Structure 1
Amino acid sequence: MGGSSATGADGRTHQITLATHTTINNLYHLDSLLERWKNPLSVAIFAHSQDVKFATALVYALSVFCPQIQALVDFHLVCHSGEMASFPEQDREQFAGLEDCGGVFAKLETHRDKYKNYAIGGNVSYPNNLLRNVARGGTDATYVLVIDIDMVPSADLPQQFLALLKTREPMFDEVFVLPAFEIRHDRKMPASKSELVQLYQVGEVRPFYEELCPRCQAPTNFSQWINLHSPAVGQLEVAYSLNWVDPWEPFYIGPRTVPLYDENFRQYGFNRISQACELHVAGYRFSVLSSAFVVHRGFKVAGEFHKRKDEENRRNRLLFRSFKEGLKTKYPASLRRC
């Protein structure tokens, strides 16, 4: 697998991979994500019932017709045991009329509104943390950025981050936070911090989850980040460090050794915060990068979620309580709690 690598200040060779997860209906986002990232990607796809065959065929088609995907993307198909993920002859009709990469993505687009990730139906739970772990496990890069497939990072992030590692030796217990934003659906994704700040100042971009859970991102300290004295264009620095506070859910680049996500969390609620809480208890420090960021496509607004969201959130809140108790046993020497 190609991609950037760099020898860090510690003499080790570092590489970075982006790990993401999706159902087949959101896989069309891969096009814009890869166009921006341009480096190795590990994608875990969850499919069930009839979608398993469709997902298998379309992933095969992406690998055949899209050279950049062939070069940079590893796919990992996750389905229920007993569901076939083979590629039998009778599924070849999925290829009828496909001639190029654009055609494959056009076919994926036709599938996009079949259901939302969390409303699959048939009493099927979307195993987001399992998928994150599968995607993470699909790479041996020294650093991994885990984001959802409908998010896009700032431009040239892999090269800038690896350049940063050449100048400073990261702590083994350090993760690098990317402030997270959301943008109006019809706006072009900003590539640089200066573009992002312009959109932020006119309300076209806002902090991620600002309407639904402002506290979940507020500890990032957006006003401090926006007003930073920026280093040279294209140069990345650690701007400031933060202690984790409940209920912060930072997106970050971390060493591949960070604790895995707890796979008991499925559907909506507490899936990422449980891992951030564990990082805190395990002693990690959160270093905010000066000009790198991630942006979610579309404003998250109340009322747009699937019907069972609140019920799932309640179930996962109870699970989170027992998860936190378990951390006391897992890290008996830690004085940190969450």
Structure 2
Amino acid sequence: MAFTLMGLKICNHCSYLLHCIILFNVVLIFWIGRYLLSGGRNTFTSGSEFILQEQQLNMQQQRILSDINIQDSLNEHEPPISVDKAPVVQLKSLLIDINRFKDPSAASVMQLRKIAESAELNPNLGDPANMINTIATESISKTDENIVIGDEKGFGNRLRSLLNCYDRPYKPEILQRGDFWVLQNYVRADHGELKCHESITYTTHADYTFLDSLIPLLERWKAPVSIALYAPGNDFQPTLDSIRYLRDCLPESNLVRMYATFHIYFNTKHIPEIVPMHQDILKVGHNCKKRATFGAMVDRLYRIQKQLFYPINVGRNIARDAALTHFILASDMEMYPSMVLVNKFLKMIARNETYLQRTAPRVFPLPIFKVETNSAVPRNKTELQEMLRTSKAIPFQESGGASCHRMPKSKEWMVANETEELNVFYIGKRINYFVNWEPVHIGTHADPHYDERISWEGKCDKVTQAYALCALDYEFHILDNAFLVHKPGTKIYESEYNRGWLMRKTNKIIRTIIYPELKVLYGTRPGCAIHT
């Protein structure tokens, strides 16, 4: 009987021990499963940490969105920004990848800022949430393994394949363009022939009094520049002398020789007395003891004495058509670009992210700013933001012509932090509130030309091209870290004070003649118009 009771007790203890072992195994299996599902964390606090991170990100997002409310004077006529439309739904997708960064909070702030900057895309572009995800998320996470840093040949082949462009001849020609003779590629740059995908050409126009801006432009651009110089009558010889001076007599002359190609044009009724052949121009060197005075000679200009209007759009089109590269930046001589723009832009194109695969035609506008007369021109967006903060720089629209320089999302652009890569900040349209926008942009040879009947004195010289872009349903891909700055200080000529009557005449011509023509040639589209 004693043995029986003892056996029962032993069995009870064994049963209890067995239950404990089973319970322990269940707990162990549950712990291992949670460990694996949680991504390999070695503590039980990861869940609470995740929640705290999400709470912190929500707070950080609110602070970032509140930063958008920059001083009202920057865009006093722009409609109020709707902060509540910011895409908060994107938070979870960002949190999933938070471990990829050494500093989770800093990385999240960077990504949230990109989302805040990309908000409120134009409704005509489809679902804004989808486009926000494309620009804000894929631009960070998407990489292309076909692009290898340092593999210039592979990089070039990829660019050429994406652009599907063709190379252009680089030879001097004498052409006739309406009422003008054109000496195309009259003085060629030392870079020689270029492949269409190799660079971007800055295309511009001027007379010789503006050539003092060429060196600062080249120091920042360091890529091909195509310059159309208006030189009727007796302006021709000073123009040649100025070109020789720039190529031979300055410490920076190597930049001019390497990158600058000069075209000269003049009216058929104002042909110079002597026009040397292109191969003879540089045989005669310039006397470098005789300094060029450029702007100081304005009153002596032949075109001023003969009261000739400056054919600004003729020059723009000549310089554009002569560019060797697929991409061109058609701008004015006194607009200086941010540094390293060409290299960053081509890398962006080579990445070929989703928003660049859209089928609609596009251009890439650059915001424009002005700085104080004695201020240095900012090299990058970070320096520009500091100058804006201290009122040493202002958006160009605040210096006059507000409606034609008003850019979508300009407030958000100015407060968005600079990033290492160049990306598209916002995709907009030239409609509704921005119907008068005349952006300066990076485009291609396929874009509409400028109307050559409009002169500089009559103003509104870019409005016809802007309408054509709108009617053709172009998208305006505003770049996040690229911009233009007008040369410090402004030249004011006596002729500027007498432009009122010509502006009224030009507006009437645009309204009654050119605008009806454009509607026939390019069609109409809701929201597209010309207001003069």
**Structures share fold, TM-score greater than 0.5:** yes
Cα displacement (A) at 1:211: 2.9
Displacement of 1:336 after TM fit? 5.5
Q: CA deviation at 1:85?
A: 5.5
- Offset of residue 229 of structure 1: 4.6
Shift of 1:223: 0.8
Pair 1:147-2:323 in alignment: no
Corresponding position: 1:250 with 2:439: yes
Which secondary structure state, in structure 1, belongs to the residue aligned with residue 200 of structure 2?
A: strand
- CA distance in 1 between counterparts of 2:239 and 2:493 reads 29
* C-alpha distance in structure 1 between counterparts of 2:491 and 2:240, whole Å: 33
Residue of structure 2 in register with 1:180 after alignment: 368
Whose RCO is larger (CA < 8 A, sep 6+)? 1
Provide the rounded CA distance (Å) in 1 between the counterparts of 2:274 and 2:424: 43
Classify the secondary structure of the residue corresponding to 2:336. Answer: strand
2:422 to 212, 231, 236: 236
2:264 paired with 1:264? no
SS at match of 1:271: coil
Q: Distance in 1 between matches of 2:261 and 2:477?
A: 29
The aligned residue for residue 496 of structure 2 is: 306
Q: 1:221 to 1:309 in 2, by over 3 A?
A: farther
**CA separation in 2, counterparts of 1:178 and 1:208?**
11
Alpha-carbon distance in structure 2 between the residues aligned to 1:305 and 1:139 = 31
Can you give the 5+ residue segments of structure 2 that lack an aligned partner in the other structure?
A: 1-152, 164-195
- Range that drifts further, 311-320 or 326-335: 326-335
Shift of the 138–243 alpha-carbon distance from structure 1 to 2, 3 Å rule, reads same
Deviation at residue 325 of structure 1 after TM alignment: 1.4
**2:362–2:477 Cα contact (<8 Å) kept:** yes
**1:128-158 deviation line (CA, Å, top 9, x unaligned):** 0000001101112110001111110000000
Return the letter of the residue paired with 1:250.
Answer: P
CA distance in 2, matches of 1:172, 1:84: 49
Residue 212 of structure 1 contacts residue 301 of structure 1 at CA under 8 Å; is this kept in 2? no
Of 291, 295, 301 in structure 1, the residue corresponding to residue 481 of structure 2 is 291
**CA deviation after TM superposition for structure 1 residue 64, in Å:** 4.7
2 CA distance for matches of 1:230 and 1:240? 15
Please give the residue correspondences for 1:1-338 in structure 2 after superposition, counting only pairs within 5 Å. Answer: 6=156, 7-8=158-159, 11-12=162-163, 14=197, 15-64=199-248, 66-81=253-268, 82-84=271-273, 86-87=275-276, 97-98=287-288, 107-108=291-292, 110-115=293-298, 120-168=304-352, 169=356, 171=359, 173-231=361-419, 233=420, 235-244=421-430, 245-268=434-457, 269-298=459-488, 306-321=496-511, 322-332=513-523, 334-335=525-526, 337-338=528-529
Query: 1:169-197 CA distances to partner (integer Å, 9 max, x unpaired)?
Result: 46561000110111112100101000001
Q: Which has the higher helix share?
A: 2
Task: Report the more deviating stretch, 278-287 or 219-228.
Answer: 219-228
Does the Cα contact within 8 Å between 1:53 and 1:84 map onto a contact in 2? Answer: no
Is the Cα–Cα contact under 8 Å of residues 56 and 86 in structure 1 kept in the other structure? no
CA distance in 2, matches of 1:205, 1:37: 21
In 2, Cα distance between equivalents of 1:224 and 1:300: 28
Q: Which amino acid aligns with 1:179?
A: P
Q: Using the TM superposition, give the Cα deviation of residue 56 of structure 1 relative to its aligned residue in structure 2, in angstroms.
A: 1.8
Instruction: Label 1:236 to 1:271 Cα distance change in 2 as closer, same or farther (>3 A).
Output: same
Q: Which has the larger radius of gyration?
A: 2
Query: Secondary structure, in 3 states, of the residue corresponding to 1:32?
Result: helix
Stretch of structure 1 that moved more, 219-228 or 40-49: 219-228
Matches of 1:302 and 1:50, distance apart in 2: 23
**1:304 CA drift (Å):** 8.4
CA distance in 2, matches of 1:308, 1:151: 24
Contact 2:360/2:473 (CA < 8 Å) preserved in 1?
no
The sequence identity of aligned pairs, in percent, is 25
Output the amino acid matched with 1:67: N
- 2:471–2:524 contact (8 Å) kept in structure 1: no
- Over 3 Å counting, the alpha-carbon distance change for 1:61 and 1:300 in structure 2 is closer
Secondary structure class of the residue paired with 1:50? helix
Contact 2:311–2:454, Cα closer than 8 Å, also in 1? yes
